[in-house]
Amino acid sequence: MSTDTRNRSKGQKTPPQKRLLASQGLRRSLSNRQMQLLSMGGVIGVGLFYGSGQALQLAGPSILIDYAIGGLIVLIMMRALGEMTVEEPLAGSFSRHAERAMGPMVGFLTGGMWWFFWVATVMSELSAIGLLVQYWFPSFPPWIPGFMALVLFTIANLTSVKVFGEVEFWFAVLKIFAIAAFILLGLFLAVAALTGAAAHHAGFSNLWSHHGFFPKGIGGLLQAFSLVVLGYSGVETLAVTAGESQDPRESIPKAVNNVSWRILILYLGSVFVMLVAFPWTALAGRHTSPYVLLFARIGVPAAATVINAIIITSGLSSSNTGLYGGSRMLFSMADKHFLPASLKSLNGKKVPKHAVWITGLGMSVGILLTYLAPNSVYVWISSAASFAALWTWGTIMISEMLFRQHFKGTLRYAMPGWPVVPIIGLLLILGTLVAIAVSPLTDISVWAGGVWLLVLVAWWVLYARRHNLDHHVAQS
- Asked if the bond preceding 290 is cis, omega within 30° of 0, the reply is no
pLDDT at 358: 92
Q: Which residue has the higher pLDDT, 260 or 207?
A: 207
List, for residues 411-453, the tens digit of each pLDDT value. 888 888 999 999 999 999 999 888 888 877 777 777 888 888 9
Q: How many residues does the chain have?
A: 476
**Domain count of the fold of the chain:** 1
Rounded to the nearest integer, the mean pLDDT of the chain is 78
Beta-carbon contacts of 326 under 8 Å, excluding residues fewer than 6 positions away, are 114, 115, 118, 119, 122, 355, 359, 362, 363
For residues 476 and 466, what is the distance between their CA atoms, to the nearest angstrom? 15
Q: Residue 67: inside a domain, yes or no? A: yes
pLDDT at 407: 84
Q: Residue 21: inside a domain, yes or no? A: no
- Pair 394, 429: CB distance under 8 Å: yes
pLDDT at 388: 86
Q: Is the Cα dihedral 267, 312, 281, 198 positive or negative?
A: positive
pLDDT at 4: 43
Q: Residue 5: inside a domain, yes or no? A: no
- Pair 86, 410: CB distance under 8 Å: no
pLDDT at 118: 84
Domain hosting residue 391, numbered range = 27-475
Q: Residue 83: inside a domain, yes or no? A: yes
Q: Pick from 115, 144, 112: which is nearest to 127 by CA? A: 144
Q: Residue 184: inside a domain, yes or no? A: yes
- Pair 126, 135: CB distance under 8 Å: no
Mean pLDDT, residues 25-52:
60
Cα three-residue angle 415-420-423, rounded to 5 degrees: 95
Mean pLDDT, residues 270-288:
76
SS3 (DSSP) at 30? strand
Q: Residue 352: inside a domain, yes or no? A: yes
Phi and psi torsions of 30, nearest 5°? -90, 125
Mean pLDDT, residues 269-284:
80
Say which CATH number the domain at 266 has.
Answer: 1.20.1740.10
What pTM was computed for the model? 0.78
- Asked if the bond preceding 440 is cis, omega within 30° of 0, the reply is no
pLDDT at 233: 78
Q: Is the Cα dihedral 266, 269, 275, 278 positive or negative?
A: negative
Q: Residue 2: inside a domain, yes or no? A: no
For residues 97 and 106, what is the distance between their CA atoms, to the nearest angstrom? 10
For residue 228, pLDDT beyond 50:
yes
For residues 34 and 170, what is the distance between their CA atoms, to the nearest angstrom? 9
The lowest-confidence range among 13-22, 268-277, 334-343 is: 13-22
Q: Residue 392: inside a domain, yes or no? A: yes
The lowest-confidence range among 272-281, 285-294, 356-365, 434-443 is: 285-294
